């Protein structure tokens, strides 16, 4: 369904809101979440508007210097970094977390990340990268589906069961690999287990050949505000080793971070 009227379909907007701004921001969010480049058609489909509307949004972003156009595709320019850096520069969480992530990385020899909940996704906001030839593909700003990611399951564990089922029901629950769980009932059971254990493992459910482990980060009031995680090659690190060796280190550093919040 397309929309030529007020705002982006499926999102509420205050009466005094700016429809054009809402659509432009929705287009910006498509970069990276769907592709590194967009055509007018893919942008229109991605935010549910007419092609003419999507084209106006993209050309405006070109004029402002956030996007470049090669005649067919639109790609983000380095100026787009300013938008994401605003959160990183003003939020205390990534800054407070960096030393904790670095300490965990140095002890484990693996990259360690911090993710937060954002609109039904697990979004990475900080990372300490290990020096490895093969990278996991995780980066600051990346969004992962909550149903099949370790961080997503930890963040889902902060919700009550009814809300978990509501979120899962609204999500696409894409089957990313032959191991991906998609049934809401089975996923709820996994989330309950993660909530009880304070730890979640995604074993080749997000990507074949990759495993991840995550633990919650709770603030002084006991609220889960983030998830700290490690992802590694399944050929190199077993799920048992993740639980036995990585889990305690992540819990310790997550606890240290939580005491500063």
Give the CATH number of the domain where residue 75 resides. 1.10.10.10
Residue 13 lies inside a defined structural domain of this protein? no
Q: Compute the residue count for the chain.
A: 261
Indicate if 130 and 206 belong to the same structural domain: yes
Indicate if 103 and 186 belong to the same structural domain: yes
Residue 1 lies inside a defined structural domain of this protein? no
Could you report the per-residue pLDDT of 202-253, keeping only the tens digit for each?
999 999 999 999 999 998 889 999 999 999 999 999 999 999 999 999 999 9
Indicate if 125 and 55 belong to the same structural domain: no
What does the DSSP assignment read for 91-116?
A: -HHHHHHHHHHHHHHHHHTS-EEEEE
- Write down the pTM of the prediction: 0.70
Indicate if 135 and 235 belong to the same structural domain: yes
Please give the share of the chain, as a percent, with pLDDT higher than 90.
59
Indicate if 52 and 149 belong to the same structural domain: no
Indicate if 71 and 178 belong to the same structural domain: no
pLDDT at 19: 75
Give the domain extent around 234: 91-258
Q: In the listed set 35, 52, 79, which residue is the last one of a domain according to the structure?
A: 79
Residue 226 · residue 217 · CB < 8 Å = yes
Indicate if 158 and 253 belong to the same structural domain: yes
Residue 68 · residue 103 · CB < 8 Å = no
Indicate if 48 and 146 belong to the same structural domain: no
Alpha-carbon gap, residue 150 to 201, rounded angstroms: 5
Q: In the listed set 59, 79, 99, which residue is the last one of a domain according to the structure?
A: 79
Residue 105 lies inside a defined structural domain of this protein? yes
- Number of domains, the chain: 2
Alpha-carbon gap, residue 243 to 199, rounded angstroms: 8
Could you report the per-residue pLDDT of 144-196, keeping only the tens digit for each?
999 999 999 999 999 999 999 999 999 989 999 999 999 999 999 999 999 99
What residues does 217 pair with on adjacent strands? 226
**Other C-beta atoms lying within 10 Å of the C-beta of residue 24:** 20
Residue 64 · residue 17 · CB < 8 Å = no
């Amino acid at each position: 369904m397309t929309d030529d009227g007020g705002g982006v379909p499926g999102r509420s907007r205050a009466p005094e809101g700016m429809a054009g701004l809402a659509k432009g921001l929705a287009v910006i969010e498509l970069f990276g979440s769907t592709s590194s480049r967009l055509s007018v058609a893919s942008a229109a489909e991605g935010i549910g508007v007419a092609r003419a509307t999507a084209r106006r949004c993209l050309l405006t972003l070109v004029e402002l210097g956030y996007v470049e156009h090669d005649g067919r595709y639109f790609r983000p320019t380095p100026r787009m970094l300013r938008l994401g850096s605003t959160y990183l520069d003003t939020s205390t969480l990534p800054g407070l977390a960096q030393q904790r992530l670095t300490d965990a990385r140095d002890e484990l020899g693996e990259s360690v990340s911090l993710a937060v909940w954002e609109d039904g996704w697990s979004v990475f906001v900080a990372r300490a990268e290990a020096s490895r030839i093969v990278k996991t593909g995780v980066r600051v700003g990346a969004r992962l589906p909550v149903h099949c990611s370790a961080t997503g399951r930890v963040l889902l564990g902060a919700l009550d069961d009814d809300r978990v089922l509501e979120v899962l029901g609204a999500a696409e629950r894409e089957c990313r690999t032959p191991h991906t769980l998609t049934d809401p009932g089975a996923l709820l059971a996994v989330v309950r287990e993660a909530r009880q254990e304070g730890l979640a493992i995604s074993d080749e459910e997000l990507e074949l050949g990759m495993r991840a482990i995550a633990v919650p980060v709770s603030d002084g009031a006991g609220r889960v505000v983030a998830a700290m995680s490690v992802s590694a090659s399944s050929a190199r690190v077993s799920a048992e080793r993740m639980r036995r060796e990585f889990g305690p280190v992540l819990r310790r550093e997550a606890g240290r971070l939580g005491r500063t919040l």
